[in-house]
Amino acid sequence: MVRQLDGLSRRMEPHAAYWPVREYLAHFDDARRARTLLLADIIPPSPGGTPV
């Protein structure tokens, strides 16, 4: 689903001059960052990975 939403975002980027689309893209980007941080907390590090 995340990839589908990313695809939707990419398809909307050419229409970013239109205010509602620009606003949606800004909110989408914020939500994407939050999802990435949550996934980083949930997914255990891979064996042999570098600890942060």
Return the domain boundaries, the chain.
2-42
Tens of each residue's pLDDT in the chain, 52 residues: 667 777 888 888 898 899 998 998 888 888 888 888 887 778 777 776 666 5
Contact criterion met (CB below 8 Å) for 17 and 50? no
What's the confidence (pLDDT) of residue 36? 80
Triad 8, 38, 2: Cα angle to 5°: 20
